[in-house]
Chain A
Amino acid sequence: MPILFENVSHIYSEGTPFRYSALSNVNLDITEGKITAIVGETGSGKSTLVQHLNALLLPTSGKVTVLDRTIISGEKPKDLKGLRRNVGLVFQFPEYQLFEETILKDVEFGPKNFGFEDSEKKAKEALKMVGIEESLFEKSPLELSGGQKRRVAIAGILAMNPKVIVLDEPTAGLDPSGSKSMMNLFYDLNKKYNKTIIIVTHDMEQVFAYCDEVVVMSQGQIKLKTDVKSFFKDSSLCKSFGILAPHLIRLKDSLIEKGFKIDEEVDSIESLVKIVSRQVKK
């Protein structure tokens, strides 16, 4: 089922002096079952774009199709429950949105609201998925560390078993191991549970290591959609968008500049070093 933007524009505060055009004439087809990264500088429209996916924002003009729902500008959409259940949106710093007395109750809130009869079971499964131990279930969310809180917030979305999971900068402010296990979680959700994952991120190392496709945004427009391998073939494409390529690709390019011959695809330090070590005096 498609995730499709057709000629979508979004203007904030239309008709006021604060009018701001955040998306202009966006056409985009996000592939189902893949991990797609949305990248671009601050203010390029990434967050505005993804909030259209579950109709939190409605297009000022154009059409958004998400799975079996189509949202058309100017038409007030009726009953968004189905769409909201199928598309889970995790905001930036979601840990600030925890509010219940216990962790379990917090995660249960969503499925309960959607009328799931087995909301407790769903909540427990979701907490397990994000690696929160059962001994913590009855504790207050406030007793958790920042990284744990964020996991609980994500579990709240997973408990509704959405088909599409949208994450707006999910690893911002986390330390390296926290980021890594968070990204591994999304990777597993995609590979094991076949969830479509859409991640807004600034971190090209993550895009390189975990994502299948990449969408580059600038000034409210889609500048490029391509697969991650071709995006990081060398650093020139990144550079043309003012994006800093992953370390490995930059190193590879610098070495080529110094006379090394690296024609093969490089996807890890090991693979690069193997090629390089054949060409140096030992």
Chain B
Amino acid sequence: MNVIEVNNLSFSYGDNINAIDNVSFKIKEGSYTTIIGHNGSGKSTIAKLLIGLLEPLKGNIMVEGVPLTLENLSIIRGKIGIVFQNPDNQFIGSTVRDDIAFGLENYMVPQKDMDAIIERFSDKVNMRAFLNSEPSRLSGGQKQRVAIAGILAMSPDIIIFDEATSMLDPKGKEDIKNVIMQLHKESKMTIISITHDVEEVVESDNVIVLNQGKIVMEGKPSKVMVNKKLLSIGLDIPFSYKVVEELRKQKVKISDEVTMEGLVNQLANLI
């Protein structure tokens, strides 16, 4: 089943240039989709349209069969959670516990249930030990994990990561990527990650490549992310795919669908 259907979507910031230009795509329930594009390709605009922060110029968005309109906004927001780029802009509470509680309080979750929910989801992102910590004591990656726990506590069906790792240091990036992978494995949640990290794309089920507001490629990462066209639109080919290409040039028989680990194992079997 498709949880999101985007049909002929266009959007402009009022400068006669379409930031999003007649874009259509579908996202399957439980899938992990990456949306990739260079700075200014329209990828973050799509995220804002998907959660109704921006209103489309043309076209429509259906979320689990419900059309995204102003009237349906609260229904849609109950289904979709979003984690933004800057961890500092998302911290509301004075402690980690308060921060995760904020959304729950807004949804009038009874106080007696709240602690259990907070503990469960802080556990999921490995932040339970920090529940009473102040935000200023946390690293960027830790803050971002708290933001994720806050979203998970609202039990959305769909979670969007809008460049959630781009302001973090390598360790923070790795932590968040692991949380995303774990969510994908262990929950039925649909994950959409907007990124310009080509290495993250390798891990996803599907990738949508945006350039100048249009979809230029779409499909399995192993098929899409080998296309040289990526270089001309400001992106890069993931490391493991570059290695595969080079190996094939040297007549080494190696199959598609490789992560670094898979690549090493394949080569080890040929030794």
One of A113-121, A153-161, A242-250 at the interface: A242-250
Min CB distance, A221 to chain B, in Å?
Answer: 18
A175 within 8 A of B: yes
Q: Which residue from chain A places its CB closest to the CB of B249 in the assembled complex? A: A273
CB–CB B39/A146 < 8 A: yes
List residues 129-169 of chain B with CB under 8 A from any CB of chain A: 139-140, 166-167, 169
> Which residue, A204, A244, A280, has most C-beta atoms of chain B within 10 A?
A280
C-alpha gap A172/B140 in the complex (Å): 14
Known contacts: A244-B174, A251-B263, A255-B264. The answer to whether A277 contacts B169 by CB under 8 A is no
Q: Which residue of B lies closest to A279 (CB)?
A: B271
Which one, B140, B167, B234, contacts A175 given CB within 8 A?
Answer: B234
B198 at the A interface (CB under 8 A): yes
For the residues of B in contact with A, the DSSP-based class is helix
Segment 167-216 of B: residues with Cβ below 8 Å from A: 167, 169-172, 174, 196, 198
Q: Is B75 positioned at the interface, with any CB of A under 8 Å from its CB?
A: no
> Do A258 and B246 form a contact, CB below 8 Å, given A177-B38, A244-B174, A247-B239?
no
Interface-located stretch among B6-14, B18-26, B104-112, B250-258: B250-258
B54 beta carbon closer than 8 Å to chain A: no
Residues on A with C-beta less than 8 A from B267 are 255, 258, 260, 276, 280
Task: Report A236-268 CB contacts with B as 1/0, cut-off 8 Å.
Answer: 000000111001101100110011100000000
Q: How far is the CA of A177 from the CA of B270 in the complex (A)?
A: 35
Q: Which residues of chain B come closer than 8 Å to A280, judged between CB atoms?
A: 252, 267, 270-271
A178 to B233, CA, bound (A): 11
Asked if B174 contacts A254 (CB within 8 A), the reply is no
Whether a CB of chain B sits under 8 angstroms from the CB of A56 is no
Within 8 A of B (CB), among A138-195: 145-147, 172-178, 180
Q: In this assembly, does B260 line the interface, its C-beta being within 8 Å of a C-beta of chain A? A: yes
Chain A residues with CB under 8 Å of B247's CB are: 273, 276-277
Contact A273 B250 (CB under 8 A): yes
Are the CB atoms of B252 and A42 closer together than 8 Å?
no
Min CB distance, B76 to chain A, in Å? 29
Chain B 49-71 interface mask (CB, 8 Å, partner A; 1/0): 00000000000000000000000
Report the count of interface residues on B (CB-CB < 8 A).
37
* Cβ-based interface call for B268 (8 A): yes
A257 to chain B: closest residue by CB: B264
Q: How far is the CB of A88 from chain B (nearest CB, A)?
A: 24
Q: Which residues of B contact A272 (CB under 8 A)?
A: 243
* Interface status of B225 (Cβ within 8 A of chain A): no
Q: Is there an interface contact between A176 and B198, defined as CB atoms closer than 8 Å?
A: yes
CB pair A259 B236 closer than 8 Å: no
- Closest A residue, CB atoms, query B264: A254
Instruction: Give the CA-CA distance A243 to B174 in the complex, in Å.
Output: 12
Which positions in B face A, CB cutoff 8 Å?
A: 37-40, 139-140, 166-167, 169-172, 174, 196, 198, 231, 234-236, 239, 242-243, 246-247, 249-253, 260, 263-265, 267-268, 270-271
19 contacts between A and B (CB under 8 A): A42-B169, A145-B39, A147-B39, A172-B166, A173-B166, A175-B37, A175-B234, A180-B236, A244-B170, A244-B174, A251-B243, A255-B267, A255-B268, A258-B264, A260-B271, A269-B243, A273-B247, A280-B252, A281-B271
Q: Name the 9 nearest CB pairs between A and B, nearest first.
A: A277-B250, A177-B234, A258-B268, A280-B270, A176-B236, A175-B38, A247-B239, A273-B246, A175-B196
